[in-house]
Chain A
Amino acid sequence: MVKVRKAGEKDLENVVELVVRLKRLNSEFDPLLKVRDDVYVQVKNWVSGYLNNKGKLLLVAESDDGRIIGALVSEVRERLFYEPRMEGVIMDFYIMPEFRRRGIGKMMMDEAIKMLREMGAHVISAEFPAQNQISVAFYRKYGFRPMMNVYVKET
């Protein structure tokens, strides 16, 4: 059985590994998401800030044999102009290939939504590359819809 729980210090290396994989996956969808050479260090510094932080939520999925096989990075943000005022944002969400299509994604998302609500969020959003059809299908399946567009162009 796979367990979903909050990440601790000892999980950091494993979580960084998974988040870097996700950043590399993002690169496949848009040339403006090409990862930097120092992506590993950047991710490590960034993810460290999500451990033991009140407004942040870092979840991991752990397999029977104790491997970290999934990670979800999220936080609660205040919406300055809109109701509801607090929004839980899922920023990074990755599951190792061999553990996909087993409902682990849903388990992690359900847990994240539950905890983000406990942290005050009344709306949940997810950020991912526009061309990632797998994510589009995943979130649509669980009742999400597109709200804001982010358009880019190089200068």
Chain B
Amino acid sequence: MSSSGEDRTKKWYDTSIKVAKEYGGKISVMPKVPVKGLRDFSIYYTPGVAGVSLEIAKNPNLSFELTWRWNAIAVLTDGTRVLGLGNVGPEAALPVMEGKALIFKYLGGVDAVPLPIRVKSKEEFIAVAKAIEPSFGGINLEDIESPKCFYLLDTLRKELNIPVWHDDQQGTAGAILAGLFNALKITGKSISDVKIVLFGAGASNIAAARILHAAGANYKNMILIDSKGPLHAEREDMDKLMLNNPWKYDLALKTNKERSKTVEEAMKGADVLISASTPGPNVIKKDWIKAMNKDAIVFALANPVPEIWPWEAKEAGARVVATGRSDFPNQINNSLIFPSVFRGALDVRARGISDEVIVAVAKEIAKYAEERGITEDYIIPTMEEWEVYPRAAAAAAVEIVKEGLARVTTTYNEELERARSIIAKSRASMEKLMKEGLIKELPAELMR
């Protein structure tokens, strides 16, 4: 990063620290029932509430109807890989989880509870997640180191009866897919035919490979590249991967049919490059992009600096370029995905969120952009396009119902309306609180 970039980052750090101190964190619990006097607590608390308890004791699924559970999720982390900071521990993860919870509330109307936990092993993590299941309608796993995150997600998806989601895997993969659908439309290519290079083999690209496959891409036409080069079935470290990262091992067996052994070989004739590796620039070389097929699609997703600057990728022949940044066109942003997916999942009291749900949501987001007219510089909606959230929520809900993963049924239009109204209400209450001065304006001197 340039020194001016570092200065800017430092300025954001300072502001965030002051704001955190000023407000004492970012979220709080807000009642949703009227309280006009202490007598009302006979309804909300004892003796009345015992009646609600007895009903739920008879049928635990009623906890989704008679408590906040239907709209509540945990943002669960062990603090082992917080942002790009590494293993900073659960306490240091708390402000990040608070921020995530704020986004959940603001964009999805979801009551998200930040929950960093102190655990020593993955088994202990599983035990905690299982133990808190009765309190929540879903669990969002966050900022957990790889490959542990794969084990946790796979195990919890199997063993819990509420949706478990890991944004670094599914959220990012969903956003990539949404952008890719439209990039393929622009270039007139088909997902089942394209050669896809996934540069970086961390949580998001390993999940992306699986989600791309669920969307119709062929494993044989994909190549994953890590710090040692392209993965393939004969690579020297295969046994090590088998023991330490079976997810990566599995993909090494399924992908790279052409057995490319170098990055240069892999890039030759590729149609799509999805890079989720280390901050650039110059991590992706222009020559590699020059070796790609005509009308190449390049997603350079590292933050804060993409692996290659968009203009450089274009100079090298890329037709569609996306990054993770909001100040360039085509921001591949998982904030488009997770609030909506959980909105839809919670509204049908989902038992789980399958990969097909992610594909359906990505399609809907792509369709939304397409209806507005896609171009090389507009393949995916921006975060400010509010209508995309209820649309994506409706697509998620309908797919969850279709797959038999829902406790209650709904239709697309019904969920669209419900999601719109829940999200609008969430935003309206915040606006009202700000207007009344109960949430104070950010101090002007901090915003300079």
Contacts and interface: CB of A to CB of B under 8 A. Distances in A.
B and A form one assembly: yes
Interface of A: 21, 24-25, 28, 96-98
Interface in B228-245: 233-234, 236, 238-240, 242-244
Nearest to B242: A97
Contact of A28 (B234, B240, B252): B240
B283 interface: no
Contact of B243 (A21, A28, A96): A28
Contacts of B236: 21, 24
Contacts of B233: 96-98
A28 B253 contact: no
B249 interface: yes
A97 B240 contact: no
B95 to A, nearest CB: 38
Nearest to A67: B234
A21 B239 CA distance: 8
Contact of B253 (A21, A24, A25, A98): A98
B249 to A, nearest CB: 7
B66 to A, nearest CB: 47
A96 B233 CA distance: 8
The prevalent SS among residues of B at the interface is helix
A110 to B, nearest CB: 24
A96 B239 CA distance: 9
A8 to B, nearest CB: 22
Closest 4 CB pairs of A and B: A98-B233, A25-B239, A97-B238, A28-B243
Nearest to B249: A97
A24 B244 CA distance: 14
A98 B219 CA distance: 14
A24 B236 CA distance: 9
Contacts of B253: 97-98
A98 B256 CA distance: 12
Nearest to A28: B243
A103 B312 CA distance: 50
Contacts, number: 24
Contacts of A28: 239-240, 243-244
Interface residues of B, number: 12
Interface of B: 233-234, 236, 238-240, 242-244, 249, 252-253
A25 B242 CA distance: 10
Nearest to A26: B239
Max chain A C-beta neighbours (<10 A), residue from B233, B240, B243: B243
B234 A24 contact: no
Max chain A C-beta neighbours (<10 A), residue from B233, B234, B240: B234
Nearest to A25: B239
B369 to A, nearest CB: 39
12 contacts: A24-B239, A25-B239, A25-B240, A28-B239, A28-B240, A28-B243, A28-B244, A96-B233, A97-B233, A97-B234, A97-B253, A98-B253
Nearest to B240: A28
Nearest to B243: A28
A21 B236 CA distance: 7
B420 to A, nearest CB: 49
Contacts of A21: 236, 239
A28 B237 CA distance: 11
A138 to B, nearest CB: 14
Contacts of A24: 236, 239-240
Given A24-B236, A98-B234, 17 more contacts: A21-B236, A21-B239, A24-B239, A24-B240, A25-B239, A25-B240, A28-B240, A28-B243, A28-B244, A96-B233, A97-B233, A97-B238, A97-B239, A97-B249, A97-B252, A97-B253, A98-B253
Nearest to B252: A97
B234 A96 contact: yes
A2 B373 CA distance: 54
A121 B73 CA distance: 63
Max chain A C-beta neighbours (<10 A), residue from B233, B239, B240, B252: B239
Contacts of A97: 233-234, 238-239, 242, 249, 252-253
Contacts of B252: 97
Contacts of B242: 97
A25 B240 CA distance: 7
A54 to B, nearest CB: 32
A24 B240 CA distance: 8
Contacts of A98: 233-234, 253
A82 B13 CA distance: 74
Nearest to A97: B238
A129 to B, nearest CB: 11
A47 B243 CA distance: 26
Nearest to B239: A25
A97 to B, nearest CB: 5
Contacts of A25: 239-240
Nearest to A132: B243
A103 to B, nearest CB: 17
Nearest to A27: B240
Contacts of A96: 233-234
A25 B253 CA distance: 17
Contacts of B240: 24-25, 28
